[in-house]
Structure 1
Amino acid sequence: MVTKKSEPRSKFYELLQAQVHNEFNASQQYIALAVWFDNEDLPQLAKHFYKQSIEERNHALALVQYLMDTDHHVEIPGTGEVRNDFSDPAQLVELALEQEKEVASDIKTLAKAARAEDDYQAEQFMQWFLKEQVEEISQMSTLLNVVKRAKGNMFDVEQFLHRETVGDGGDDPTMPPVAGGAL
């Protein structure tokens, strides 16, 4: 069996491996949100969060592909705790927004680590994820505003999502390659 030569583990690559976990965990959390909405007979919200789950999965596997492409060992982690209990739809979207803000902070930390290590390729790789987090936070902020303005009338939120496009749906042609191919 031939094994890949592995580069020394830098701070950036340690953080990148941790981010693989974070992205997979975000994917699982979005599935929990989608299932909650599905169970509440809110198909547009469910559809939105099922798509978000796939997008986060693709982000995790883009990080995995980069690790493989740069001859680094990859470990596929388990995921962390996932929240399933909510009392109203706004809580779910608030959780999603906070999750995206945390990911944005993690991505900034990764970009700073790459820069501090003079790893120009890693820094360039992180640029797409920085841009992506602007879009992710913006879309969740918009969705939260719509949910709050609806004042409990989820039919209005469902109509909004049916009528409007929120986010790019994960169809960004500039996204880095995804291990196994993007879904």
Structure 2
Amino acid sequence: MKDLARLRTPIKESVELALNQQIQMEMVSSSRYLAMAGWCDRNGFDYSAGFFYKQSEEEREHAMKFFHYLNDQGATSISPEIPPVQQEFDTLRSIYEGALEQEIAVTDSINRIVAICRRESDFVTEELLKWYIKEQMEEEYIARRCIELFGQIPADQIFELDKQLSEVSYDGNAFE
């Protein structure tokens, strides 16, 4: 019986390394969102807490998608170490601003991996990354929209703003 592992083209080392770094970035993002959710819960921002709990789980799912992909391709996926993350925040707005900064960093990282895939002619991995690119467009849009709402509601109505932030969604038409 032939060794099937020898019949496929393995992922290049540079792509494998970049994807493992992305796994760590996604898991750190998950941890950050969890900390944001905890702060919101402790400070009575129930709707934002729910939003960030959901974001935390999504980031973990993104990491796992990369993790499984590497394994499915015969590469080595690495369970990352997660450094401590910030637990306390100044304001609800600062949390959303931090979320946007985080999403921009993830987008930049995904774009860097696409460039590596193109350099290595790894079109299979690049195809996988198309899903992440679309996801990042949505994530950045939602974070920006949430921040925009802070300028539309007086500071003394912050709990009403919390409710409105929970209703922000991406309708898929923002770029048309």
Q: TM-score, normalised by structure 1?
A: 0.83
Answer whether contact 1:5 1:71 (CA < 8 A) is retained. yes
Q: What corresponds to 1:88 in structure 2?
A: 91
Identify which range, 149-158 or 34-43, moves more after superposition. 149-158
Shift in alpha-carbon separation, 1:8–1:108, aligned structure 2, 3 A: closer
Amino acid at match of 1:103: V
Answer whether contact 1:89 1:147 (CA < 8 A) is retained. no
Question: 1: CA distance between counterparts of 2:109 and 2:11?
Answer: 22
Q: What corresponds to 1:50 in structure 2?
A: 53
Amino acid at match of 2:130: Q
Give secondary structure in 2 for the equivalent of 1:14: helix
Question: 2: CA distance between counterparts of 1:38 and 1:167?
Answer: 24
Question: 2: CA distance between counterparts of 1:50 and 1:34?
Answer: 6
Q: TM-score, normalised by structure 2?
A: 0.86
Q: Residue 59 of structure 1: CA displacement?
A: 0.2
Q: Segments of 4+ in structure 1 off by > 3 A?
A: 4-9
1:18 pairs with 9, 16, 21, which one? Answer: 21
Query: Structure 1 stretches of 5 or more lacking a match?
Result: 169-183
Amino acid at match of 2:159: F
Amino acid at match of 2:153: A
Q: What corresponds to 1:70 in structure 2?
A: 73
Q: What corresponds to 1:103 in structure 2?
A: 106
Identity rate, percent: 29
Structure ID, larger Rg: 2
Question: 1: CA distance between counterparts of 2:96 and 2:68?
Answer: 30
1:160 pairs with 159, 164, 168, which one? Answer: 164
Specify which structure has the higher proportion of helix.
2
Q: Residue 5 of structure 1: CA displacement?
A: 5.8
Q: Residue 8 of structure 1: CA displacement?
A: 6.4
Amino acid at match of 1:78: E
Question: 1: CA distance between counterparts of 2:22 and 2:154?
Answer: 35
Identify which range, 27-36 or 74-83, moves more after superposition. 74-83
* Aligned-pair Cα RMSD in Å: 1.9
Shift in alpha-carbon separation, 1:87–1:8, aligned structure 2, 3 A: closer
Q: Residue 9 of structure 1: CA displacement?
A: 4.7
Q: Residue 88 of structure 1: CA displacement?
A: 1.0
Question: 2: CA distance between counterparts of 1:10 and 1:148?
Answer: 46
1:27 paired to 2:30: yes
